[in-house]
Amino acid sequence: MTDTTPPLPEKARAAEGPWATAWRRLKRDRAALAALAVLLVILAACLAAPLYATYVSGTNPFATNLNGTITVDGKSRDVLEASTEGLGLGLTPIGPTWQLGPYMLGADNQGRDVAARLLYGGRNSLFIAGAAAVLCLVVATFVGVVAGFFGGLVDTVLSRILDVLWAFPIFLLAISLSIVLISQPLLIGPFEIRSGSLALPIVIIGVVYIPYVARPIRNHVITLMKSEFVTAAVGLGASPWRILWVDILPNVVTRIIVFVPLMLALNMIIESALSFLSIGVQPPDASWGTIIQDGQGLLYSRPAVALAPGIAIAVTVLALNIFGDGVRDALDPKSTVRIG
């Protein structure tokens, strides 16, 4: 006689590890998986920017093309056409051709392919956001764990430093740092970061959000230090370093992972704002913020120049927030992590 007793899902789930449980929860969140798919598509498209520029558009997105011509529907057209508005003075970039090829999204006022620049700009925006998130999380985790674990004078000194940074509005602090550092090289030990380097906005954005991440981590560590399993470890004679590495840090890792999508979204917004104000990514490099700036004067005649990167930022940030909510619910359902 065969046993047809159904398995006990509660016991099976109890045997799962925390990462397996988190993955099972995340797989049930269709919105988070859809957002992840969108992010992967955007990332793949941006990484393929050189292939698009070489084999599809056949243009150099960083070189001006004031006298160039292209063929659209069998007709030759200038990349910069004579203006038909007002007195007819000046030149207007060619609009979107909506064909897979040169100038699919039109040209900017320098005759450069907007679609190709959009992909290259996305690479820089995503790279800066990711690198700044890593820098911020590493420094903030170190500061938060040290302050929460050691307490006392160490906690007081680090907390006051964080309070000073916290007192400045995010964009005011970022703009102030940008203006100061963009006029002179930033020296970090033997390393020199010049104004045109992508490392400069990475450092600025990474520093700005340190207190917003370090304080929640510090509070989480203080809560863990008062938990029963840490009290039991102390009672069993465990050394402070063993408690830090075995009991504290593994529980902090999940909180750090929850921060990653949120930090990426916030970093993209602040990077785009700084680049739009000409104190972020510097020419000849491009980012979604610089492309919006390029299209500012073309909003009425060629709105696609500014709308394309604006839509890209909105879709990417929205996808990051939806995916971040799914990761938070999967790893730490009781968490209410917010920044800002």
pTM here?
A: 0.86
| Separation of alpha carbons 224 and 205, rounded Å | 29
With contact defined as beta carbons under 8 Å apart, do 123 and 288 qualify? no
Q: What are the pLDDT digits (tens) for 217-269?
A: 999 999 888 888 888 887 887 787 888 888 888 888 888 998 999 999 999 99
Non-local CB neighbours of 38 within 8 Å, separated by 6+ positions = 315, 319
Angle, helices 249-276 vs 170-182, to 10°: value is 70
Neighbours of 222 (CB within 10 A): 15
Q: What are the pLDDT digits (tens) for 95-110?
A: 888 888 888 998 888 8
Residue 120: which of 267, 318, 291, 294 has the closest Cα? 291
| Separation of alpha carbons 213 and 196, rounded Å | 28
Residue 116: which of 316, 286, 272 has the closest Cα? 286
Kindly state the tokens that stand for 268. 């993209």
All domains of the chain in start order, with CATH? 113-331 (1.10.3720.10)
Q: What are the pLDDT digits (tens) for 43-95?
A: 999 999 999 999 998 888 888 888 888 877 778 888 887 766 655 556 788 88
Question: What is the reported pLDDT for 91?
Answer: 76
Q: What are the pLDDT digits (tens) for 180-198?
A: 776 776 676 677 777 677 8
Kindly state the tokens that stand for 53. 């520029």
Q: What are the pLDDT digits (tens) for 139-187?
A: 999 999 999 988 889 989 999 998 888 888 877 877 777 777 767 766 7
Q: Is residue 15 classed exposed, middle or buried when 0-12, 13-18 and 19+ CB atoms within 10 A define those classes?
A: exposed
